Structures are given as C-alpha cells and as structure tokens.
Amino acid sequence: MRLKDQVALITGAGSGIGKESALLFAAEGAAVIAVDVNLASAEAVAREITSSGGKAAPVKADVSQGAGCQAMVKAAEEQFGKLTVLFNNAGISHADDDDAVATAEDVWDLTFAVNVKGVFLGCKYGIPALRRAGGGSIINTASFVAVLGAATPQLAYTASKGAVLSMSRELAAIHARENIRVNALCPGPLRTELLMKYLNTEEKKQRRLVHIPMGRFGEAKEIAKAALYLASDESSYVTGAEFLVDGGITAAYTTPL
C-alpha cells in the first residue's frame, strides 16, 4: 500500500487522468475526495471505489470558483480528518481555442479561469490544510505543451499550461521547508476524451502520432502511475520538477520512420 493513511483530493476526478488516479490511489490505500464540476461522474467514481472496499467521497466543485475550492478542502478534512495529497488536475481544452488572431477573449478567459486560476485556488485553500496535516504532496497537471509549441494552434491552452508549470516551480520553492512538495505533471498526448474529441479522424490522429517516438498515444492509466509516484513518499526528494510522461515527444526532433 503506497498511500496508506493518506487523504487525496483529486480535481477532474470524473474522467480521464483524474478518474484513473482516483481508482489507483484508493487501491493503494488513500481515502479519495473525488471532485468534479460534473457531480454524476464524481459520484460514479466514488461508488466504484467504495463498492470494492475503498474509501471515497464525491464533491461537486468548479475549480475556477473560490467557494467551490474552499468547500472541497473542507470536505476532505471533515470526512477523512485531513488532507495530505492535493492533485490539481481539472483542465479544459476549448473547441474554439486557436491562434492569437482567431481566439476570442472569452475563450482565453475561460481557459485561464479553469486551468490556471483553478490550480491557484486549489493551492490557496489546500495549502493551509496540508500545513495542518504536517505537510504533503501537491501535483499540478500541466502538459507537454508547457515546454513545446505546437503548430496546430491552441494558444490559450498552451499558455495556461506554461503558467501551471511556472506556478508549480515557485510554489515548490516557497513551501519546501514546510514539508510540502509541489510538482508539475506534464502528460503527452493521451487517448482521453479531452484530446480524442478533436483528433476525430484517422488522418488527424496520424498527423499527431508522427511526432511521438513511441508511435502511440498515452493512456490515462499511465499518467495515474506517474501521479502515484509523485503523491507517495517514493518521491520524497522530488519537488519543483517538470515530470514529463510523454512517449518521448519532447525529446525528439525527428521520429523513427
């Protein structure tokens, strides 16, 4: 049990990386607060955990709102006594996110509200709880696009993930002596709803795959395993890291034919 006696709050727990992490963290002994703006999906994940003997509770919250973030942290402390792992994972990729000329201001603002302000608010209300618990681990989901520009434009998303990465570094430096570690998890392109709704033809998929040395998309389960490492004591000397889990995409200029 790699997360025995831990209490983990995961945002965006209803789908993709968040869902797989909730299931894995619970199987490794953590009590899980499954947070999502879509309550039904969080409830389904929490039910899946409790029906197999684990501990979980669903919470509906929009991470772009302070009140929701305050309530989700309160739920962790009230229901499971403390908070020791904060996984700020919820994020959106807007269908109308484009280049600088074509992206509307409201698309930019919404993307930053969820992807950047959501991480800030998770930390704003989560860090006092981690302090009360004597420390813990914060994992912020950034992306490989935080370190690479894509010619298929999604400017607001890319900039938002750059902000998550730089925010994570500074949080790590500020809180290191409080026994609070902060790392940015940077997944490569995954076979989840978030990406596949755009790569909806074989041609679009192949155009992306040609850049990935491994020649395949990642799975949410593979990112959950990386998150588990960052959540657990196995990563006790890891803070401020840019943890790329990307099939080699950021390492390669060209890929095998």
Q: State how far the Cα of 9 lies from the Cα of 31, in Å rounded to an integer.
A: 9
Rounded to the nearest whole angstrom, what is the least distance from the CB of residue 162 to ligand NAD in the complex? 12
Please answer whether residues 82 and 129 qualify as being in contact, where contact means their C-beta atoms are separated by less than 8 angstroms.
yes
Q: DSSP label at 97?
A: -
Nearer to ligand NAD, 53 or 149 (CB): 149
Sheet with strand 242-245: strands edge to edge: 55-60, 31-36, 7-11, 85-88, 136-141, 180-187, 242-245
Question: Which residue of the set 125, 157, 198, 229 is catalytic?
Answer: 157
* DSSP character string of 47-96: HHHHHTT-EEEEEE--TTSHHHHHHHHHHHHHHHS---EEEE------TT
d(CA 118, CA 225) in angstroms, rounded, equals 23
Fill in the amino acid letter for 137.
Answer: S
Q: Which is nearer to ligand NAD, 56 or 90 (CB)?
A: 90
Q: How far is the CB of 208 from ligand NAD (least distance, A)?
A: 10
Task: Please identify, using beta-carbon distances, which residue of 150 and 194 lies nearer to ligand NAD.
Answer: 194
Question: Smallest distance, Å, CB 4 to ligand NAD?
Answer: 26
Residues that bind ligand NAD (CB under 6 A): 11-12, 14-18, 36-38, 41, 61-64, 89-92, 114, 118, 141, 143, 187, 189-190, 192-195, 220
For residue 9, the minimal CB distance to ligand NAD (Å) is 12
Rounded to whole angstroms, the Cα distance separating 182 from 167 reads: 10
Q: Which C-beta is closer to ligand NAD: that of 179 or that of 222?
A: 222
Interatomic CA distance for residues 32 and 208, integer angstroms: 34
Q: Is residue 125 among the annotated active site residues?
A: no
> Which residues are known to be catalytic?
157
